[in-house]
Structures are given as structure tokens and as C-alpha cells.
Structure 1
Amino acid sequence: MLESPVFQGGAAPTLQRAEGDGRVTTKSRDGLSVLDTLYQSGCGKIRVPRAYGNWLEAVLINTSGGLTGGDKMGWSAQAAAETRLVVTTQACERIYRSSGGAARVDSRLTIEAGARLDWLPQETIVFDGSALDRTLDVDMAADATFLGLEAVILGREAHGEEALSASISDSWRVWRGGTLIHAESARIDAGDMMARNNSALLNGARAYGTLCYVAKDAERHIEKLKTLVGNFPTAGVSRIGDKIVLRATGRSGYQLRKIIMPAIAALSGAGAVPKLWSL
């Protein structure tokens, strides 16, 4: 019978960590948005499916199958002047139980003059005992358009898991024409998870998300969004100048999607969410 390995001083060996990096940029050619540059390394991959509209779609893929403590992912997307880029993910990202440290995901978006970038990853599923540190930085021109979403599902619904010992740190920074117009930092640790039935926290919700829209035509959309979320007591939407922020919670990922997907469709200009959301 094989004996279990004994580590000197009781210290376990350093485990291999997943690291990935992906970058994509667009350019305008004959009035169409086309691929300019694409870079990928490690477990970070990007695919560009054929599109039939005036935009380029980029699909982010983590080939490691998920992230755990010490793993690092970095994404960068740039929409050149007068182009449109839609960024989504192949599937929901998964954050697994950590043996130490947090999984880190850093995303940076650049939107040039007259361009539009839709940042629409599918939900992140947070497992019990996991830790996630995530940042989203957006640098957009004064006349650019940005639609962004970050959504989280706490635990594996089919397993009845509630992720009561998970830890999540989320940070958004949106700069428009050199001015910081949106900044938020949210943290939920294990203590908050245990108390999340409190109405001042998640009120028992298993899923939550934030949708942000920044554009010169924001005022034109606000009433329609209020109508869309009006039947959902766990959702709210507000506008300040050219910025709309929609926040929603749900008892399940499906319930959250019932709120988020119509809002995305209303703001997308194409009347739909990315096709991969429906597969």
C-alpha cells in the first residue's frame, strides 16, 4: 500500500496556479467593426464568432474550468473610434473553494470617441469556501457608450449550497472624458453571508447583479426600464445625468435573469442578449 507523502516541517508544496490573459481590440473597415488585434495566454482564450450586425463579438473563455485561491485572470478590451464591441463569456465563471488567498480577476475596458462597448459576461458562480477579488476599470470618451454587467450566484443551486463561508470583493471604476463618474466597492465576507437574510443585506437572495449604462441617450431609456422592472420588488433603477444603474436580486439565478435579460435587450440596440446566454 502506498504511503501518504510527508512534507518537511508539515508544509505542503506550492500548488500550480492558473493564470490567464486576454486582450482584444477593434478597428473600423468599410463602416464595419472588425478585429484589429487579439492576444491570449495561459488559460485565457478569446474567440470571435461570425457576426451579422455592425459589431464585433468577443467570447472570453477560461480553459481551466474555474478559479480558486491564487489564480489570476486579466482581460482587456478596446473599442476603437466609431466601432462597437460586445464582450461576453462562453459560460458562467466558477470560483471554487480556496485553500488560501483569493482568485483575482482584473478587467480593463477602453472605449474611444463615438464607439460602444457592451461588457456582458454571464454570471459568476461562487462556491462555498471560495474567495474572489474582482475589479472592472472603464476608460471611455465623452461621446462613447458603455453597457456593463456583473452578476453573482451564491452557491450551486442544484446542490442546495448557499456559499455561507465565501468572500467576495467587487470594485467598479468608470471614467468618462477623464472624469470619474461611477465608483463602487462592495465586499461580502463570511459574516455577511451568514446574515444575508437580513433585509438590509440580500434579504435571503441567492443571486444579485448590477447593470450600468452610460451614454448621451440615457434619459430616453429610463422610463422603459422602470416599466420593465416595475413588477419585480427586488429590482430598482435610477438615472443621474447620462448614467443609468439597475440593481437586482433574485432567489435563484433564473429569477435574476428574468430581470436582467429584458433590461439588456432594451439597452443593447439590437433588442437581444448575446446568443451564448441562451445556449
Structure 2
Amino acid sequence: MSFEGAIGAALAEQRVDARGALHVRRRVGRTRIERLFQEGAAKIRLPQGAGDPLEAVLINTAGGLTGGDRLAWTVTVADGAHASVTTQACEKVYRSCGGDATSTIALDVGAGASLAWLPQETILFDGSAFRRTISADFAVGARGLIVESTLFGRLTMGETLRRGLFRDRWRIRSGGRLVHAEDFAIGPDVPGRLAPHAGTGGACAVATVLVLRDDAEDLLDRVRTLVGPTGGASAWRVGETGKLLARLIAEDGYGLRKRLIPLLHMLNGAAGLPKVWSI
């Protein structure tokens, strides 16, 4: 085997292949752990709390992702239970030496239950290649708050994303019916795709916020006020499900958080934001 081949084989052996799964159920008046599984670099921690929702913190101990890495999370919230799931820190996707980094998220929320999926930002570095898939199944009447924020480089650190690949696929169902689907693709010329007004006008920080709840339409005016002029929000019903979708755009991560945090506080009610967001 050549030196280059040996290096390639060594890198392939060291790739992250991590899975974490959390199943919670309501028992004795509050949401409690039913099952927890973690493998490889995927870790799950549950800060102590006095009541619902149960809060879970997802950790990738590898410190980030690069080409060939695989990370998968599964969260199941049984009937009547309430959970809030976040990440310990921003997920960083570094330059790829070959292949895509992948993140697969599967959510299942039962009748009368609620789930707030509130990971911190994903940061894409120059030369990164990343594919993310989010699949969620909600029972009719279950509540959902799903947020994903993406930073195309870190301007404040002088880190510009010039070339990269990002694919983001969402499939969200309620009562077995598809209520939200989107496929986002950008690259390899990321700045060129972001620059037009139909993109982000050159802004490097974006967030998508999806709300599933019966009164979603009643939240629209407040959401639009918090989103501001660089973004937008719409609400409608899909069958029996109320749905609100908001997009936020900002020059950098700091500007994005200034508007995203008040929005999530409002949408998540008394539960507010996970504590790790303030660190």
C-alpha cells in the first residue's frame, strides 16, 4: 500500500460513527426517562429539573464533524410527556478531506405530548461538506417547536466560507400526514448563491423555526414583530394541524441570536430556553 493509501485508510478508520437515542414517558405526574442509548461520540445528559418539560442536552464529544463522519439522534416523546432537547454547544462542520459529514435526526411525539427541538447553531467552515436530515412524526394535537440555525462561516473570527456543500432535508408529519417538507441545497460557490436578494442578500446567518400547535395562526403577528424586516413568517392549517413557519436572516451569528432568542422565549412559553443557551 502506498503512503497516501495508508493515510487514507487510517483516516477512514478514525471517522465518527455516533448514535444517541432518548425515549421519555410521563409517569407519577412528570416526564421521566424510559430508555437512553448512546454510542461512540454521542452523549446525552439530563440536567436536574423540578418539573416538565424534561430537558436533555446532546453532546458530540468528537468536537465537530468532517467528511465521512456520521451522527444520528433519535428522540421519542410518549403520550402526554413533554421534552426540550438542545445541544451543549454549536455543531462545527470542518473542511472535508473526502466525503460528506451527515447528521440524521428522527423525532416521534405522541398524543398530548410536546417537543421543543432547540439545538444551538451549526457552523459550516470553508471546504466543509454536510448533509442533514430531519424526520418527525407528531400525533394529531401534539405540539412541536423545531429550530435549526446555520452560520456560513464566522465573520467575527475572520473565517469566511468560500466553497462548501450543504444539503438540508426536512420531512415533518402530523397524524401520518405530511405537513412540512423542504430541501435546501447550496454549494460549491456558497457566497455566490447567498449574494442575490433571492438568497440572503449576502447575509451569513439563517434560522428556520417551525411551530406545530392548534393556535399557531394566533401567534403570527407577534412572530412577525420579533422576526423583523430581514426574514418572514406565515401560518396556515394543514388538515387538523396548525402550522407556523418563520425564517430569520442576519449578517452574523450575534445578530441572529439577538432576534432568535426572544422569539424562542415567546414560542416556548414558561419553559423558555435551555440553560446552556446562556453560557
- State the TM bucket, normalised to the shorter chain: over 0.9
Give the Cα–Cα distance (whole angstroms) in 2 for the partners of residues 192 and 274 of structure 1.
31
Q: In structure 2, what is the Cα distance between the partners aligned to 1:245 and 1:251? A: 21
Determine helix, strand or coil for the equivalent of 1:142. Answer: coil
Aligned residue among 37, 40, 45 for 1:39: 37
Supply the distance in 1 between the matched residues of 2:92 and 2:67 (Cα, whole angstroms).
12
Query: How far apart, CA to CA, are the structure 2 residues paired with 1:13 and 1:106?
Result: 25
Encode CA deviations 1:49-101: one digit per residue, 9 max, x unaligned: 11133211110000000000000000000111001010000000000000011
CA distance in 2: counterparts of 1:227 and 1:155, whole angstroms:
27
What is the RMSD computed on CA atoms of the aligned residues?
1.3
State the distance in 2 between where 1:151 and 1:43 align: 22
What letter matches 2:66 in structure 1? T
CA positional deviation for 1:9: 7.7
Percent identity for Structure 1 against Structure 2: 41
Whole-angstrom CA distance in 2 between matches of 1:19 and 1:260: 31
Find the counterpart in structure 2 of residue 268 from structure 1: 268
Select which of 215, 227, 233 maps to 2:229: 233
Task: Tell me which residue corresponds to 2:244.
Answer: 244
Give per-residue Cα distances to partners, 1:82-135, cap 9 Å, x unaligned. Answer: 010100000000000000111000000000000001100000010000011000
Aligned counterpart for 2:196 among listed residues 195, 198, 219: 198
Kept in 2, the 8 Å contact 1:169–1:185? The answer is yes
For 1:255, what is the secondary structure of its paired residue? helix
CA distance in 2, matches of 1:187, 1:17: 24
The change in CA–CA distance for 1:10 and 1:278 in structure 2 (over 3 A counts) is closer
SS of the residue aligned with 2:159? coil
8 Å CA contact retained: 2:53, 2:271: no
Matches within 5 A, 1:156-235: 156-229=154-227, 232-235=228-231
Q: Return the alpha-carbon distance in structure 1 between the equivalents of residues 272 and 53 of structure 2.
A: 13
2:8 aligns to what?
Answer: 13
Deviation at 1:271? 5.7
Superposition deviation, residue 272 in structure 1 = 2.0
Conserved 8 A contact 1:166-1:193: no
SS in 1 for 2:116: strand
- Runs of 4+ aligned structure 1 residues displaced above 4 Å come to none
Cα distance in 1 for partners of 2:156, 2:163 equals 18
TM-score with structure 1 setting the length: 0.94
Where do residues 132-147 of structure 1 align in structure 2 (5 Å cutoff)? Answer: 132-147=130-145
Q: Is the 8 A contact 1:59 1:87 kept in 2?
A: yes
Partner residue in 2 for 1:104 = 102
Question: Which residue does the alignment assign to 2:254?
Answer: 254
Q: What's the counterpart of residue 82 of structure 1? A: 80
Whole-Å separation in 1 of the counterparts to 2:260 and 2:4 = 48
Alpha carbons 2:143, 2:213 under 8 Å: kept: yes
Q: Decide whether aligned partners of structure 1 residues 76 and 10 sit closer, same or farther in structure 2, where only a CA change above 3 A counts.
A: closer
TM, length-normalised to structure 2: 0.94
Amino acid at match of 2:99: G
Aligned residue type for 1:261? I
Structure 1 portions without partners, runs of 5+? 1-6
In structure 2, the CA distance between the partners of 1:174 and 1:195, relative to structure 1 (3 Å rule), is closer
Check whether the contact 1:125–1:154 (CA below 8 A) recurs between aligned residues: yes
After superposition, the C-alpha distances for 1:141-191 in whole angstroms (9 at most, x for unaligned) are: 011011000110111333312211121100111010010010000001122
Matched residues in 2 for 1:73 and 1:189: separation?
22
For residues 271 and 21 of structure 1, do their structure 2 counterparts lie closer, same or farther at Cα, with a shift above 3 Å needed? closer
The total of aligned residue pairs comes to 271
Deviation at 1:139, TM superposition (A): 0.4
